[in-house]
Amino acid sequence: MPRIIVHIDMDAFFASIEVLDYPELRGKPVIVGGPAVRGVVSAASYEARAFGVHSAMPMGEALRRCPQAVVMPVRGGRYHDMSRHIMTLLAPHTPLLEQMSVDEAYLDLTHWLPAGATGASVAAEIQTTIARETGLGCSLGVATGKAIAKMASDLRKPRGLVVVPPGEEAAFLAPLEIGKLRGVGAATERKLRALGVHTIGDLARLPATRLGGQFGVVGPELLALAQGRDDSPVVPERQAKSIGRETTYWTDVTERAVLERTLLALTDDVAESLRRHDFLARGVTLKLRDDAFRTITRSTTLPEPSDVTEALYAAARALLTAARWHRPTRLIGVTAGPLQPAADRQFNLFAEDDDKKRKVAGAIDAIKARFGNDAITRARLAKKE
């Protein structure tokens, strides 16, 4: 039985929220990001994109291309709150809901279609519901696998809905530019084009031996995906064996302080997720990828199962130190796991500190839930203005 996977991606999420909150911006090129001189673009409205502005672009460059753009500061908490609201709208459709980021999620509808419904009809219903309940647009892809559904959702933005019927995956992918394939960034794209691979179809026809070792462990994955084979499961965090967050840098990072700061922010997010789902992590895994796609993972067991940032971060940071990692870093990630139910918490004779941290973390979670994600943050993660 072919799977029915839906990928939902909010359209210009941050910029659209700004337009929603400040209706006078409607129809204007809006850039979210900053600060003006040295900052980067976090998001751009479709009006701004028409001028060639895109996310990750230096702000100076963006304003040269589109001097009339309205620049709005990033309001992470507001976006986070909206994201939560959207997830509650998705949740009734299937228990197999995996949130990928603040504006992206997968739904596995294979065994959860209402009578008479199809993947396409549910996707259309989701699009309508979100527009009605939030005023925001989104694009959806329906396919038999996650990566293909994601590429489908990306195809007709904004407010697109693209269905790839079972069996037509390879045909759907074949004409697409190679850069659209999941896992193919700028560097990989250059290398593939050098091999004469310009479309996904070109890659699908490429003998595996031609790929050689230059794409590392991701090589065979790329090939399988290009041929339409995509069976990675939708894993809701509630029954996950691990909870992780990772981020790819716009430009490769070598500075240890930057890596640590990212790691802390990611770990903070992981810890919050652990607490929200009532899990304790028994271990931590650190993932690093360099500019040549070499990926390493390092794992450790925590002295005590934990759901507080401090304990998880200390372990993750120790892994970073022990890894003796000095290469330009493209991606950094942290995963907590294996997990155990928080109800099985074993109290510690000497850990009053930990209990205090847990109480503080609980209080912070409550403040965030009530006043939004930006109401409170770690001093080390606070933006320096």
Partner 1 sequence: MKFTCPKRVFHEALQSVSRAVASRSTLPILGNVLLDARGGQLRLVTTDLEIGMTSNLPLDGVIEEGAVTVPERILQDVVGNLPDAELTVSSDERNLLTVSSAKSQYTIHGLPAEEFPVLPQVADANKLSVPGPVLRDLVRKTIFASSADESRVFLTGCLLTWDGQTATMVATDTHRLAVKRVPATGKFAQAVSVIIPARALTELLRLLGSTEEPVDVCVGDSQVLFALGRVRLVSRLIEGQFPAFERVIPAETLKRLTANRQHLYDAVRRASIVARAESNKIKLHFEDATLTIDAEGEVGRAHEEVLISLDGELGEIAFNATYLQDVLAVLDTETVELGLTGPLNPGLVKAEGEADYQYVVMPMQML
**Which one, 170 or 302, has the nearer CB to partner 1?**
302
Considering only 21-29, 189-197, 230-238, 348-356, which stretch makes contact with partner 1 by CB under 8 A? 348-356
Instruction: Give the C-alpha separation, 375 to 367, whole Å.
Output: 7
Considering only 98-106, 207-215, 343-351, 368-376, which stretch makes contact with partner 1 by CB under 8 A? 343-351
Instruction: Give the C-alpha separation, 327 to 289, whole Å.
Output: 9
Residue 351 lies near partner 1 (rule: CB under 8 A): yes
Instruction: Give the C-alpha separation, 371 to 81, whole Å.
Output: 9
Considering only 84-92, 229-237, 327-335, 339-347, which stretch makes contact with partner 1 by CB under 8 A? 339-347
Cα–Cα separations (whole angstroms), residue 275 to 271, 292, 365: 6, 36, 9
Residue 88 lies near partner 1 (rule: CB under 8 A): no
Rounded to whole angstroms, the maximal C-alpha distance in the chain is: 64
Smallest separation, CB 29 to partner 1 (Å): 52
Give the count of beta carbons closer than 10 Å to the beta carbon of residue 102.
18
Give the count of beta carbons closer than 10 Å to the beta carbon of residue 304.
15
Which of 247, 340, 376, 377 touches partner 1 (CB under 8 A)? 340
Hey, which residues between 282 and 301 contact partner 1 (CB under 8 A)?
Answer: 282
Which of 116, 132, 347, 379 touches partner 1 (CB under 8 A)? 347
Which of 27, 207, 209, 344 touches partner 1 (CB under 8 A)? 344
Tell me, yes or no, if 237 is annotated catalytic. Answer: no
- How is 79-109 classified by DSSP, letter by letter? HHHHHHHHHHHHGGG-S-EEEEETTEEEEE-
Torsion 217-220-225-229 (CA) sign: negative
Taking the chain, what is the end-to-end CA distance rounded to the nearest angstrom? Answer: 54
Hey, which residues between 245 and 284 contact partner 1 (CB under 8 A)?
Answer: 282
Smallest separation, CB 44 to partner 1 (Å): 47
User: Six-digit token pair at 348?
Assistant: 């510690």
Which of 194, 343, 379, 382 touches partner 1 (CB under 8 A)? 343
174-192 as b/e: b if 16+ CB within 10 A: bebebbebeebeeebbeeb
Smallest separation, CB 224 to partner 1 (Å): 34
Smallest separation, CB 303 to partner 1 (Å): 6
- Sole residue written with tokens 């500190």: 353
Q: Of 18, 47, 104, 260, which one is the catalytic site residue?
A: 104
Which of 314, 331, 342, 376 touches partner 1 (CB under 8 A)? 342
Residue 303 lies near partner 1 (rule: CB under 8 A): yes
Interface residues with partner 1 (CB under 8 A)? 282, 303-304, 340-351
Give catalytic residues, as residue numbers: 104
